[in-house]
Amino acid sequence: MAVLEGLLPQMPPPLTLLGVVLVLFVLYLLSSSSGVGKDPPGPRPLPLLGNLLHLDLKQLQVSLCELSKKYGSVFTVYLGPKKVVVLAGYKTVKQALVHYAEEFGEREIAPIFKDVTNGHGVLFSNGDSWKEMRRFSLSNLRNFGMGKRGGEEKIIEESRYLIEVFENFKGEPFDTNQPVNYAVSNIICAIIYGSRFDYADPAFQKTVDGAKENIRLAGSAEIRLYNMFPWLRWCCGWCLVNRTQILKSNKNIIEDIKGLVQGLKDTLNPQDLRGFVDSFLVQQQEESDQPGSYFHNNNLAFTVNHLFAAGTDTTGTTLRWALLLMAKYPHIQDQVQEELSRVIGEREPRVEDRRNLPYTDAVIHEIQRLANILPMSIPRTTSCDITFQGYFIKKGTMVIPLLTSVLQDEEEWETPHSFNPGHFLDEKGRFIRRDAFMPFSAGRRACLGESLARMELFLFFTFILQRFRFSPSPGVSEDELDLTPSVGFILNPSPHQLCAVSRI
């Protein structure tokens, strides 16, 4: 019961709870006795609670990895009354997401995300609306710089602003969280809106900080419980504080986005598109007489919100891990900076330098592997009945592709739990690709901003390491730097401060 300790300060009346338990127990019996095919193995669930007593809700990915050691690479757990199939290990996850891409290609939309998005946008939607928004988003992200020279120039410009902020700390300890997130956020803002924002802009700060906090709360134990038992909101309020905060914050963010969109709409020139929003508005005008068009205001606002949040927090979090790991392992930082000095010197890095910086490239990849920021990916749901690796999985079953089990697969990585750039280098020190490197997931739901994220990570990292040496705060040794992640939907580093000492 330790996983529930501290989460139950108020309980509904006993008779109400008993009635709910009995109803869910009947539903559980009906849902778990289909008699069709062979179910994946797993620990025996309890009525209502499912396998909660086997799981640590604050480190769910760790619990699932432990269960995979006993039950194999395809197994079943019950998150409360909900049946979930977990996929573990590189071979199984790749087979499911790539070779069975259609069957495992739908998005599982948890109650909290249903509450927030109502099926709009590109991240938590399915069907034709999702297909249209993903196609349009991918095409226009590319048009406005993702993976292209225009995108490179935006990142280089933003790197200069970020370096100025770091310089202002004059080697004193500081929290990298906000400046790194603001810099990364400005890249997606430049692509979406056609312009960047000043780091001191209160509205910009509010949106970036609010989106990050929402992502953190979405991975909290309270929200995990709400997703398992959404009916709790009708009989008690103990799990609704985080939900209420998410809904309120998201409403404010959507209103701010709609305000920015209106400003762009008022100055729209179809012959001179500034970014993603302009392109969407033009498409909306062209389809204004088409009933059922997906190019409506809600899809625009929520798609922008999803691109903004996902495009900021994932890359920003990875960069913060990068700086922390450089301070933690100064000998690796030394080798990166030696290579940068030897190959680039004092000129600004460019994307084309990557092929001549194999060690630096390997370090960036290893940071992504070890940081493991989205350990359970975003859950899927099966689009049809399927027999997979000899097991029957019913249509509509929630599926968790356990990415942490891929990035730390002991059959694929020599030292899976250690920071080792050698994972991506051959015996001659040349960079090598690894099939089990899957931080962006795979298949039809793979991260649509992968090429942008890869460019951002390389350019921001090389710009920063070229100019600064990172170390712990005075009085803190490298060994004392904590690599334990904070609880959240995305795994951030625990709160910390670093010193950035100028090398130039």
Strands (E), 330-379: none
d(CA 185, CA 163): 15
C-alpha distances out from residue 268 to 100, 188, 272, 281, Å: 42, 19, 8, 8
3-state secondary structure of 226: helix
CB 127 within 8 A of CB 433: no
Is 189 assigned a ligand-binding role in the annotation?
A: no
Q: Output DSSP code: residue 424.
A: G
- Tokens of residue 219, six digits: 């991975």
Rg of the chain in Å (alpha carbons): 23
β-partners of residue 219 are none
* Beta-carbon contacts of residue 188 (< 8 Å; ≥ 6 apart): 307, 308, 311, 312, 449, 452
**Cα 458 to chain centroid, rounded:** 18
Question: Which of 186, 212, 187, 213 lies closest to 198 in space, CA to CA?
Answer: 186
3-state secondary structure of 409: coil
β-partners of residue 380 are 107, 399
What per-residue string of b and e applies to 213-241 under the rule 16 or more CB within 10 Å gives b?
Answer: ebbbbbbbbbbbbbbbbbebeeebeebee
- Tokens of residue 73, six digits: 């690479």
Q: Which helix (H) or strand (E) holds 69?
A: helix 60-71
Query: Burial level of 11, CB count in 10 A (0-12/13-18/19+)?
Result: exposed
Question: Which of 188, 193, 187 lies closest to 260 in space, CA to CA?
Answer: 193
- Tokens of residue 108, six digits: 């599982």
Question: Which of 109, 91, 113, 108 lies closest to 100 in space, CA to CA?
Answer: 91
Question: Which of 227, 169, 208 lies closest to 52 in space, CA to CA?
Answer: 227
CB 26 within 8 A of CB 258: no
C-alpha distances out from residue 228 to 103, 322, 401, Å: 24, 34, 18
d(CA 73, CA 251): 40
**Feature table: binding site:** 447
**Feature table: binding site for heme:** 447
